[in-house]
């Protein structure tokens, strides 16, 4: 994969592609990205008053208004609904009917939702029935799961899920089972707390294709074991199963029906924030470089030492502030970059990438005119001088990224490849909704940590100085793409693997 050759200008140190802006104006713009600004803006978004920015919530709306106000001050053009910076997407509220929902065993017992069954995630449009298949063990076995006949079956997951890799779990769910029933050894206290949460209303997206059709349920091991034994399957102890290799066994004479019923529904909405900076080139201004990050988090959680607010300082106030900082820096450039730039703060990422999905389905500009997406999610923790840039191998954005990183040693930032391919992070943040529609992406990420999705993800734990250097790197990469005469190009094999072609 080749990119156009960028030569440094003697004494300036900026590539040919950046000469639309003088070295002085670029230096001034980059200089506006400071650790102090990064810290102060994260402190606003991750403040207790935002109550963890759940989707939907008043705190999330307050965050969106703050970002919209920042974009307006910077002179960006609104890219949301009705001439505003806010784009809202529809949501639906549902509530499980605990009395009418259950799992019934053919010629056997009925397990009631709540006392006997919990829902870990997912939903069903109607009841589903099927024969059982037991997945047991916890080591190896990827090829066994990928070859198993799980489509439309009721999977009884005897494997300890805490021991299974995310790759195994992805393979299992990717086989299209009708439902998954996971065995659990929860304590009575843990079960009781989960049962109380079960009756609360839940929020789902209310547009596009429904993701209903598969539910992951949880049933006590002591409840399931006698039923399996009656059909010739004897469970080993949990300790033994954790050490055994993965196995898949048909229990076709065990027929189950899973029925999840819902009581009532309501409607609502949640915000994205969209700001656009028009480009300076008469032709290229109709193409766009997108910068994205999710502004939502997980809201209020059970208290830890009296603190119940999941502030989400790193996840993802840090990435959101990167977008604001870059918007401010790009708005200072004179002339502006040749291509236009879009600064997008989405919500609903923690629920299933909702905001980015909606924007990709309902973009402010034609999606075919967005040439690249640079996404930032969790960029303020872990190593001092390293950032993981996921997706480099899938397009020539990777070679651009590596070259630009090498041209700026003053940033002291090592931009490395994906360290955790088995975790499938490429598919777990907002950039993926653009990649699957044909937009080349780079995902800037510094990894998870012990405070991930905990109330302890606080502002005082971020490294604002490091985050500022990552924002500067993103600025330089984005500017290179915005000024290049050529659009980024996919690797053909990656394109065939990732991009969803619509007939």
Q: Given this chain, do its domains 22-91+269-498 and 98-260 carry the same CATH topology?
A: no
Residue pair 303/455 in contact by the 8 Å Cβ criterion: yes
- In 347-448, beta strands by DSSP E: 370-376, 386-390, 414-416, 441-445
Report pLDDT digits (tens) over 48-75. 999 999 999 999 999 999 999 999 999 9
DSSP state of 100: T
Q: What average pLDDT does the segment 251-275 reach?
A: 90
The closest of 240, 259, 277, 220 to 105, measured between CA atoms, is: 259
Report pLDDT digits (tens) over 345-387. 999 999 989 999 999 999 999 999 999 999 999 999 999 999 9
Q: What average pLDDT does the segment 254-268 reach?
A: 86
Question: What does the pLDDT read at residue 7?
Answer: 29
Residue pair 105/256 in contact by the 8 Å Cβ criterion: yes
- The rounded distance, in Å, linking the Cα atoms of 246 and 167 is 13
Q: What average pLDDT does the segment 164-189 reach?
A: 84
Answer yes or no: is pLDDT of 137 > 90.
Answer: no
Question: What does the pLDDT read at residue 213?
Answer: 61
Question: What does the pLDDT read at residue 240?
Answer: 84
Cα–Cα separations (whole angstroms), residue 343 to 296, 388, 460, 483: 16, 21, 26, 17
- The rounded distance, in Å, linking the Cα atoms of 114 and 261 is 13
Question: What does the pLDDT read at residue 202?
Answer: 79
The closest of 294, 314, 332, 258 to 75, measured between CA atoms, is: 332
Question: What does the pLDDT read at residue 116?
Answer: 95
- The rounded distance, in Å, linking the Cα atoms of 381 and 445 is 9
**Measured on CA atoms in the order 237, 241, 242, 248, is the torsion positive or negative?**
negative
- The rounded distance, in Å, linking the Cα atoms of 399 and 401 is 5
Cα–Cα separations (whole angstroms), residue 405 to 4, 402, 411, 485: 16, 5, 8, 20
- The rounded distance, in Å, linking the Cα atoms of 451 and 459 is 11
For the domain bounded by 22-91+269-498, which CATH number is listed? 3.40.630.10
Answer yes or no: is pLDDT of 1 > 50.
Answer: no
The pLDDT > 70 percentage for the chain reads 92
Query: Would you kindly state where each structural domain of the chain is located, as residue ranges?
Result: 22-91+269-498, 98-260
Q: Which residues contact 408 (CB under 8 A, 6 or more apart)?
A: 472, 473, 476
Question: What does the pLDDT read at residue 409?
Answer: 97
DSSP result, 133-186: EEEE--BS-HHHHHHS--TT-EEEE-S-TTTS-HHHHHHHHHT--SEEEEEE--
Q: How are strands ordered across the β-sheet holding 102-105? A: 110-112, 102-105, 247-259, 128-136, 154-157, 179-184, 214-220, 117-123
DSSP result, 22-46: -HHHHHHHHHT--HHHHHHHHHHHT
Q: What is the 3-state secondary structure (H, E, C) of 470-500?
A: HHHHHHHHHHHHHHCCCCCCECHHHHHHHCC
- In 260-316, beta strands by DSSP E: 262-277, 288-294, 300-304, 307-309
Instruction: Name the strand (E) or helix (H) holding 341.
Output: strand 340-346
The closest of 145, 147, 150, 120 to 133, measured between CA atoms, is: 150
Q: Rounded to the nearest 10 degrees, how much is the dihedral formed by the CA atoms of 236, 241, 243, 246?
A: 120
Q: Look at the chain and count its residues.
A: 503
Report pLDDT digits (tens) over 401-420. 999 999 999 999 999 999 98
Averaged confidence pLDDT in the chain: 90
Instruction: Name the strand (E) or helix (H) holding 72.
Output: helix 58-73
Answer yes or no: is pLDDT of 212 > 80.
Answer: no
Answer yes or no: is pLDDT of 160 > 90.
Answer: no
Q: Could you say which architecture CATH assigns to the domain 98-260?
A: 3-Layer(bba) Sandwich (3.50)
Give the residue with greater pLDDT, 166 vs 269.
Answer: 269
DSSP state of 317: I
Report pLDDT digits (tens) over 415-433. 999 998 877 788 889 999 9
- The rounded distance, in Å, linking the Cα atoms of 47 and 313 is 9
Q: Which residues contact 218 (CB under 8 A, 6 or more apart)?
A: 117, 118, 119, 120, 181, 182, 184, 186, 194
- The rounded distance, in Å, linking the Cα atoms of 101 and 122 is 14
Minimum mean pLDDT range among 3-12, 40-49, 369-378, 493-502: 3-12
The number of beta carbons lying within 10 Å of the beta carbon of residue 368 is 11
- In 357-440, beta strands by DSSP E: 370-376, 386-390, 414-416
């Amino acid at each position: 994969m080749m990119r156009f050759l960028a030569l440094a200008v003697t004494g300036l140190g900026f590539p040919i592609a950046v000469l639309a802006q003088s070295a002085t104006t670029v230096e001034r713009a980059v200089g506006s990205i400071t650790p102090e600004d990064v810290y102060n803006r994260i402190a606003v978004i991750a403040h207790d008053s935002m109550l963890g920015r759940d989707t939907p919530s008043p705190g999330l709306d307050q965050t969106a208004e703050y970002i919209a106000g920042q974009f307006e001050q910077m002179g960006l053009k609104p890219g949301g609904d009705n001439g505003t910076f806010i784009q809202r997407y529809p949501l639906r509220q549902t509530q499980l009917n605990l009395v009418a929902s259950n799992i019934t065993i053919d010629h056997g017992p009925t397990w009631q939702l709540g006392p006997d069954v919990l829902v870990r995630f997912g939903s069903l449009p109607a009841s589903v029935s099927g024969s059982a298949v037991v997945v047991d063990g916890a080591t190896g076995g990827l090829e066994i799961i990928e070859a198993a006949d799980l489509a439309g079956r009721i999977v009884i997951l005897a494997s300890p899920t805490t021991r299974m890799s995310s790759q195994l779990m992805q393979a299992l769910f990717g086989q299209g089972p009708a439902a998954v029933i996971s065995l659990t050894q929860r304590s009575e206290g843990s079960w009781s707390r989960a049962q109380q949460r079960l009756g609360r209303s839940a929020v789902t997206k209310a547009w596009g294709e429904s993701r209903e059709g598969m539910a992951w349920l949880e049933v006590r091991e002591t409840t399931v074991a006698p039923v399996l034994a009656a059909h010739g399957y004897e469970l080993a102890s949990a300790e033994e199963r954790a050490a055994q290799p993965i196995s898949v066994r048909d229990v076709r004479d065990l027929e189950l029906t899973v029925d999840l019923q819902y009581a009532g529904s309501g409607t609502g909405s949640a915000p994205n924030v969209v700001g656009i900076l028009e480009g300076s080139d008469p032709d290229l201004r109709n193409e766009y470089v997108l910068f994205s990050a999710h502004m939502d988090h997980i809201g209020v959680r059970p208290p830890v030492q009296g603190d119940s607010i999941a502030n989400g300082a790193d996840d993802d106030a840090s990435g959101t502030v990167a977008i604001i900082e870059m918007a401010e820096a790009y708005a200072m450039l004179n002339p502006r970059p040749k291509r236009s730039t879009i600064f997008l703060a989405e919500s609903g990422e923690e629920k299933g990438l909702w905001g980015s999905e909606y924007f990709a389905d309902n973009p402010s500009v034609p999606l075919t005119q967005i040439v690249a997406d640079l996404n930032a999610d969790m960029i303020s923790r872990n190593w001092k001088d390293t950032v993981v840039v996921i997706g480099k191998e899938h397009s020539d954005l990777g070679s651009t990224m590596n070259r630009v990183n090498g041209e700026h040693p003053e940033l002291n930032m090592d931009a490395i490849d994906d360290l955790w391919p088995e975790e499938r992070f490429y598919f777990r943040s907002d950039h993926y909704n653009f990649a699957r529609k044909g937009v080349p992406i780079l995902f800037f990420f510094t990894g998870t940590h012990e405070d991930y999705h905990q109330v302890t993800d606080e502002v005082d734990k971020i490294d604002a100085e490091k985050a500022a250097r990552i924002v500067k790197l993103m600025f330089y990469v984005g500017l290179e793409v915005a000024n290049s005469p050529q659009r980024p190009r996919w690797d053909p094999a990656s394109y065939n693997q990732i991009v969803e072609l619509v007939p």
